[in-house]
Structure 1
Amino acid sequence: MKKYTSILSVILFFFIHSNSWAQPAESFVKVNVAPEKTDWVYKPNEKVKFAVSITKNDIELPNVAVRYEVGPEMMSPVKTENVVLKNGTTVIDGGTLKEAGFLRCRVVASYEGKEYSGLATAAFSPDAIQSTTNEPEDFWTFWQKAKAEASKIPLDARVRLLPDRCTEKVNVYEVNIQNYKPGTRLFGIVCVPKAPGKYPALLHVPGAGVRGYYGDVNTAEKGVITLQIGIHGVPVTLDAS
């Protein structure tokens, strides 16, 4: 009996510790930075103040040395300073922007020989930001030609019902169509509401990496046709293993 108890204890030890080792290390010292406005959105020439707090285990740290920098996002800072936070908190005057854009405040705290950082970005009339790049002269000519060439390639759509993924309200299909050149295919998952009628459609474009897709059934059950696509030329129903 003692033998089995010892074995069980060893198994439990490794189970508990393997789970703790698998958890990502969390920094107990945190640099919290946030604009005073809850939505972080401002108008040009409106002043911004950033609230800063340095905490350890969610308790503010006293007498912490910090350096901060403020400036337009992705540009050289226009304001830098080194200060000591007696109570672990401060408010930084971030100034303003005269036109639409983003103003960023980055704070670095030094504590027990290590550095910890945090940042926040205030948006100034983000809907009014204009592109800084001019369109090439042949931009529209290029795409009109590309569309004309693509229209000559038959779509050759193929559809296969996936009964195990269908629900009471939605049919789920695997689809694949001819890609931009013969011999290549584009695969995806379409979810279609079963009830007759016209529906809006939602296209899910892929991120990086090759992976399978199940289909956006939840959105389809709310009355939207959904299509998830992969672009790597392999079926998106394949087992990940």
Structure 2
Amino acid sequence: MKKIFLSLLLTCSVFLSKAQNYLPFNWKISFNDTTLSASSKGSTSTWKDVNLQLSWERQGYFNRLGKCALVTDFDLQGWDSATILELNISLQCHVHQIFMNGKYIGGNIANQFWTNKGAKSTFSIPPGVLRRTKNRIIIIASDLSYTGGKSYNYVSLTSPKSLDNSNISIQITKTDHLFSDVPKHDEVQVRYMSKTPGTISTMIVNDFHHTIYTETTGINAGHGVLKIKVPEALKPGFYEITTVMKNDGYCGDVSWLTLSPEKISCSREPVADLQKYWDEAYTELSNILPDYKLIPNDSLSNERRNAYILEFRSIGNVKIRGYYFVPKKPGNYPVILHLPGYGYGFQNLEPFINQKEPIAELALCIRGHGISTDDFNPGFDIPGMWGYEFCDRYKNAYRGAYMDCVRAIDFLRSRTEIDTTKVGVTGGSQGGGLALATAALCKEKVQACAFFDPFPADIRHQIKIRTLMNIEIAKMLNYYKNQCSVADVLAVQEYIDTRMLASWITSKVYFATALFDDDCPPHVGFAAYNNIHSEKKYKIYPNDSHLGESGYPKVFMSFFKEEFEF
């Protein structure tokens, strides 16, 4: 067997290259032609586009689509063939095989998004593999990772001996990227340093994937600034800016800005029988004896707090549990109801155990989550919580889940250690939707609500922004043998959509949103927020994704602390 000249270096640092990168950001992707023979020859013109600067989800790709091939063609103009080049890869997926001009370079790289996002693998390209023109790299991959909206994808071809300080960045004058009027030409800029003359291409796309602006400008070598001419006719909403500098190589940047999000409006009115629907649900809940039980848990208790497992019965006679924490010192305390994100069962209880504030807290595992799966457990794949019986407005999971939260509020208000004038509710993602629904359905029983990028909210618009949801809906309908249509599904969603319920909220509200969030995009959160008529405020995290990297729970706790004076 011939020896292959190949070295593999695995590093644990986030990839940052100062060398000239010969590979573009724009690739082609196929979920059909996933073999070397199919993708190494011929045209990829019928393949879909994928931009490595953006998250998979933003472009409609995710793990349920299966195995794929990623391909890009490139030239090496000006390359000295005596110089060994290195391929650097940081892809949020499982990389099975990498081929360069038909030659195997490496593979079997596990997805490290959840363990070491940004980690790179480096391969030296053997002599004789590359050409000055018409090169093709093929990556066979699967399990495109959830990212929350920020791309850590990067594939570069560089010379380890050649330093290139070329760089580019989008500069927005507002620290939160929030504008009340269309930004002036000096408020959104592209700053760059280019080692050689080249071009800079800039594109503005709204959150609904409509291209608003494109421009390519020639540049000279050296430092420079380009002012982005933001169109004056922009409507209130959210806008993604991407920029790419092409000189002897490629570098780029991505950012978001928002224009008057509090003016976003959705014309669709709540269904006529929405109040009747939820009155019926509450009546059904009232006919179920709660049978509250508090079971002491010494392993979660400490010198400051007593911990319990709470059990009760909810609508459908489903057993619900949660983790209840109360200060040991007798008193009358504010309380915060914490509600879970999709699939989360409060596996990490350290924040509650280590809480030093004089408050009580209930981390509620709604039906199907965490320790509440005895009687209801649809999982989180297909159909999952969202897709469970989603053709039936009376059987869908969220009718019951919202009632789980309502019963939890009733439990808290029944406790002598709780100050019933200081009841708060909070959550992010699905937990944000649950918080909105709880505040809406419980009205004056809740005095403060803090939520981050909620679900479900403004579903009709969300499926146009997060387009992969349409694939999920099709799979769920297939699971139920297409007993209803997409239109029927959306009609059912009207009853559980928190945008429709938001106007019922009477509590004070704090909303936090992340501009890179493509799971529960800012638009849908503001669609709900703008329907709230009580006292409210919001905070924008311009560089965060759905993962909330800046730590919004700390800001929420400060909000509750101010409102409840603890």
Q: Structure 2-normalised TM-score?
A: 0.33
Which position in structure 2 is the counterpart of 1:177?
Answer: 312
Q: Report the Cα offset of residue 189 of structure 1.
A: 0.9
The counterpart of 1:50, out of the listed 188, 212, 220, is 188
| SS of corresponding position for 1:222 | coil
Does 2:199 align with 1:65? yes
Given that 2:301 and 2:353 are in contact with CA atoms closer than 8 Å, whether structure 1 keeps it comes out as no
Larger mean Cα displacement after TM superposition, 189-198 or 42-51: 42-51
Task: Summarize deviations over 1:24-47 as a string: whole Å, max 9, x none.
Answer: 237589763342111222213553
CA contact (8 A) 1:193 1:221 kept: no
Residue 174 of structure 2 corresponds to 37
| C-alpha distance in structure 2 between counterparts of 1:233 and 1:103, whole Å | 35
Return the offset for 1:185.
Answer: 1.8
How far 1:195 sits from its partner (Å)? 2.5
Residues 30-77 of structure 1, C-alpha deviations (whole Å, 9 max, x = no match): 7633421112222135536323346xxxxx444453322225432512
Tell me which amino acid in the other structure corresponds to 2:314. Answer: N
Following TM superposition, by how much is the alpha carbon of 1:155 offset from its aligned partner in structure 2, in angstroms? 1.4
Asked if 1:222 is matched to 2:222, the reply is no
In 1: Cα distance, 2:201 partner to 2:316 partner: 55
Name the structure 1 match of 2:412.
none
Q: Give the Å deviation of 1:96.
A: 4.6
For the Cα contact (< 8 Å) 1:47–1:95, is it kept in 2? Answer: no
Of Structure 1 and Structure 2, the greater strand share is in 1
Q: Report the CA distance shift for 1:98/1:214 in structure 2 as closer, same or farther (over 3 A).
A: same
Q: Distance in 2 between matches of 1:210 and 1:199?
A: 27
Give the secondary-structure state (helix, strand or coil) at the position aligned to 1:200.
strand
Structure 2 SS opposite 1:93: coil
**Structure 2 match to 1:5:** none
Q: Relative to structure 1, is the Cα distance of residues 40 and 194 closer, same or farther in structure 2, using a 3 angstrom cutoff?
A: same
SS at match of 2:309: strand
Deviation at 1:113, TM superposition (A): 6.4
Distance 1:217 1:66, change over 3 A: same
Residues 148, 69 of structure 1: alpha-carbon distance in 2 compared, 3 angstrom cutoff? same
Q: Report deviation, 1:222.
A: 0.8
Equivalence for 1:83: 217
2:259 is aligned with 1:124? yes
Q: Determine if the alignment matches structure 1 residue 163 to structure 2 residue 298.
A: yes
Percent identity over the alignment?
20
Correspondent of 2:334 among 196, 200, 225: 200
In structure 2, C-alpha distance between the alignment counterparts of 1:124 and 1:69, rounded to whole Å: 17
- Once the two structures are TM-superposed, the CA of residue 166 in structure 1 deviates from its matched residue by 1.6
RMSD of the TM alignment (CA)? Answer: 3.4
Q: Give the whole-Å Cα distance in 2 for the aligned partners of 1:209 and 1:67.
A: 40
- d(CA) in 2 for partners of 1:41 and 1:218? 37
- Residue 282 of structure 2 is aligned to residue 134 of structure 1: no
CA 1:165–1:38 in structure 2 vs 1: closer, same or farther (change >3 Å)?
A: same
2:326 aligns to what SS in structure 1? strand
Aligned-partner Cα distance in 1 for 2:300–2:353: 12
1:141 partner amino acid:
K
Q: Which one-letter code corresponds to 1:223 in the other structure?
A: P
Are 1:74 and 2:208 counterparts? yes
Amino acid at match of 2:364: I
Tell me what 1:7 maps to. none
Judge conservation of contact 2:305–2:353 (CA < 8 Å) in 1: no
| Shift, 1:142, TM fit | 1.2
Letter in 2 for 1:119: V
Q: How far has the Cα of 1:112 moved from its partner?
A: 6.2
Note the C-alpha offset of 1:143. 1.3
Quick one: which amino acid aligns to residue 194 of structure 1?
K
Is the 1:96–1:103 Cα contact (8 Å) retained in structure 2? Answer: no
More helix by share: 2
How far does residue 180 in structure 1 lie from its aligned partner after superposition? 2.3
Asked if the contact 1:156/1:177 (under 8 Å) is kept, the reply is yes
User: Which residue identity is paired with 2:184?
Assistant: K
Where 1:94 maps in the other structure, the secondary structure is coil
Q: Read off the aligned partner of 1:177 and give its amino acid letter.
A: F
Partner of 2:230: 94
**Which amino acid is the alignment partner of residue 174 of structure 2?**
K
- State the AA in 2 paired with 1:105: I
Letter in 1 for 2:308: Y
Q: Is the 8 A contact 2:203 2:211 kept in 1?
A: yes
2:311 and 2:247 map into 1 onto residues whose CA distance is 56
Q: 1:235 aligns with which of 358, 371, 394?
A: 371
CA shift in 2, pair 1:30/1:207, >3 Å: farther
Preserved contact between residue 190 and residue 228 of structure 2 (Cα < 8 Å): yes
Cα separation, partners in 2 of 1:45 and 1:65, compared to 1, 3 Å: closer
Q: Between 139-148 and 216-225, report the one with greater CA deviation.
A: 216-225
In 2, the alpha carbon distance for the partners of 1:197 and 1:167 equals 17
Tell me, yes or no, if the aligned pair for 2:302 and 2:353 is still in contact at 8 Å: no
How far apart in 1 are the matches of 2:296 and 2:309? 6
Structure 1: gaps (5+ residues): 1-15, 55-59, 237-241
Bigger shift: 41-50 or 154-163?
A: 41-50
| 1:186 is the counterpart of 2:323 | no
Question: Which sits farther off after the overlay, 38-47 or 151-160?
Answer: 38-47
